[in-house]
């Protein structure tokens, strides 16, 4: 009897077991999400689990731009950028992005995921190498798997490990180093000056995935490379529209000739329908707002810094975070999921992350912050966190002083 392909379907019980125990945290619907707060399972929750860093998803000008674009262009382009799916709107957006990033050109894709997959697989050909950080985003890994070249990985943010990997490669091979600017789970920043120095020593090109850096760090929110003053040293900056830009989609910014090549070789761009008009218009409205008044970036950092200082004082382990992504490292999977459940019941929404999202015994609650959160939202969230930590005894060594150190 040949094996049935669907045997694995019957044998997959992990998610159903968690559902039966009432501790299944994924694919759960939000009834509404205003930005700072949301409606979850019929209850208002303080939102510490979005990537809506600037809180622009509900900004009146952004909503209006999306609605106007639907009325003017309809709901879809029904084709890829390559053929019938390019509107003047896409070209205008690319010009705006290039101006914002201060690069020669920008190229948009339909999702951030496709941006990485398409760009890396287009550039890393047979005989080339792509060298990535072990904590790089899954879309980077998938881009490497789709490329004809070979992938090498170095230890997270460990520049000597990067150098070891580069030194083992043939001198005359093409090489691309790809790092996240801001790591999406740990909330730590790549040591870009040293990465650039080493990559250049070995003749490697550099790409930075700044999904969590654009709109968040650097002058005007131009991202991690701009933060380090390295925009002219990094070959490609990748960004998404699904975070600070309140939309969906992605882009790369860099030299016009490199983007021209990617545009004609990236299968994820050429064989997938283009960004819908409303999504493109949303990003342009966000750019208008940021360029007019970038002070919302300061408010985001005030909120994030207040929370990091408070959480650390209370005794939570926030790892190496130094951005608006602040993990609360719990360790054990079950305790992490129980803490998620108790926080949701108490009115605080966070994202539980268990392996393979993080290494074994490093499960965490991913919290992330928004410019539009008010101090009272954050203080309330800290009170609920203190209460849950006490009830579940999450940090025994700080048990007695948890509540006094809130706020």
Binding positions for ligand PLP, 129-148, rule CB under 6 A: 137, 139
Q: Which of 119/242 has CB closer to ligand PLP? A: 242
Beta strand pairing call for 348-349 and 351-353: unpaired
Q: Which of 180/235 has CB closer to ligand PLP? A: 180
Q: Which of 133, 135, 209, 333 binds ligand PLP (CB under 6 A)?
A: 209
Q: Residue 298 Cβ, how far from ligand PLP at the closest point, in Å?
A: 23
Q: Which of 210/235 has CB closer to ligand PLP? A: 210
Q: Residue 211 Cβ, how far from ligand PLP at the closest point, in Å?
A: 3
Quick one: which of 125, 163, 159, 290 has its CA closest to 218?
290
Q: Which of 40, 100, 113, 202 binds ligand PLP (CB under 6 A)?
A: 113
Distance of CA 109 to the CA centre of its chain: 16
Q: What DSSP assignment string belongs to 209-264? A: E-TTTTTTSSGGG--HHHHTT-TTT-SEEEEESSSTTSSS-EEEEE-HHHHHHHHT
Q: Which of 52, 119, 224, 240 binds ligand PLP (CB under 6 A)?
A: 240
Q: Which of 94/209 has CB closer to ligand PLP? A: 209
Please compute, for residue 333, the number of CA atoms within 13 A of its CA located in the half-sphere on the CB side: 12
Q: Which of 269/314 has CB closer to ligand PLP? A: 269
CA 207 to CA 214: how far, in whole Å?
14
Q: Is 108 in the site for ligand PLP (CB under 6 A)?
A: no
Binding range to ligand PLP, per CB under 6 A, among 9-17, 83-91, 105-113, 142-150: 105-113
| Exposed / middle / buried, residue 75 (Cβ in 10 Å: 0-12, 13-18, 19+) | exposed
**Rounded (10°) angle between helices 112-123 and 256-263:** 100
Q: Which of 40/241 has CB closer to ligand PLP? A: 241
Please give the angle made by the CA atoms of 393, 396 and 397, to the nearest 5 degrees. 160
Q: Which of 45, 87, 179, 211 binds ligand PLP (CB under 6 A)?
A: 211
Q: Which residues bind ligand PLP (CB under 6 A)?
A: 111-113, 116, 137, 139, 180, 184, 209, 211-212, 240, 242, 250
């Amino acid at each position: 009897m040949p094996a049935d392909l669907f045997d694995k379907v019957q044998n997959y019980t992990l998610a159903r077991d968690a559902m039966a125990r009432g501790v299944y945290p994924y694919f759960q619907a939000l009834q509404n999400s205003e930005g700072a707060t949301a409606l979850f399972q019929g209850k208002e929750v303080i939102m510490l689990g979005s990537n809506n860093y600037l809180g622009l998803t509900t900004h009146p000008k952004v909503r209006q731009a999306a609605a106007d674009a639907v009325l003017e262009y309809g709901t879809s382009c029904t084709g890829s950028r390559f053929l019938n799916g390019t509107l003047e709107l896409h070209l205008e957006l690319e010009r705006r992005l290039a101006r914002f990033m201060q690069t020669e050109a920008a190229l948009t894709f339909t999702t951030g995921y496709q941006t990485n997959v398409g760009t890396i697989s287009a550039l890393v050909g047979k005989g080339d190498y792509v060298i990535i950080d072990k904590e790089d985003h899954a879309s980077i890994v998938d881009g490497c798997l789709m490329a004809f070249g070979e992938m090498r990985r170095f230890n997270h943010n460990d520049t000597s490990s990067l150098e070891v990997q580069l030194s083992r490669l043939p001198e005359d091979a093409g090489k691309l180093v790809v790092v996240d600017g801001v790591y999406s789970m740990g909330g730590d920043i790549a040591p870009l000056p040293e990465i650039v120095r080493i990559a250049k020593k070995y003749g490697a090109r550099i790409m930075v995935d700044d999904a969590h850096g654009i709109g968040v760090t650097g002058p005007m929110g131009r991202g991690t490379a701009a933060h380090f003053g390295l925009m002219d040293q990094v070959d490609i900056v990748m960004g998404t529209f699904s975070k600070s830009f309140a939309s969906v989609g992605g882009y790369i910014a860099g030299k016009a000739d490199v983007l021209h090549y990617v545009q004609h070789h990236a299968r994820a761009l050429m064989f997938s329908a283009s960004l819908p008009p409303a999504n493109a218009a949303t990003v342009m409205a966000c750019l208008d707002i940021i360029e007019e008044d970038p002070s919302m970036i300061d408010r985001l950092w005030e909120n994030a810094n207040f929370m990091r200082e408070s959480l650390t004082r209370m005794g939570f382990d926030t790892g190496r975070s130094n951005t608006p992504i602040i993990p609360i490292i719990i360790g054990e999977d079950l305790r992490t999921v129980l803490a998620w459940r108790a926080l949701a019941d108490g009115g605080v929404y966070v994202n539980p992350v268990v392996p393979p999202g993080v290494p074994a015994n490093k499960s965490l609650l991913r919290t992330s912050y928004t410019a539009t959160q008010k101090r009272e939202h954050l203080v309330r969230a800290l009170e609920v966190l203190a209460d849950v930590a006490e009830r579940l005894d999450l940090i025994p060594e700080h048990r007695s002083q948890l509540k006094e150190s809130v706020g």
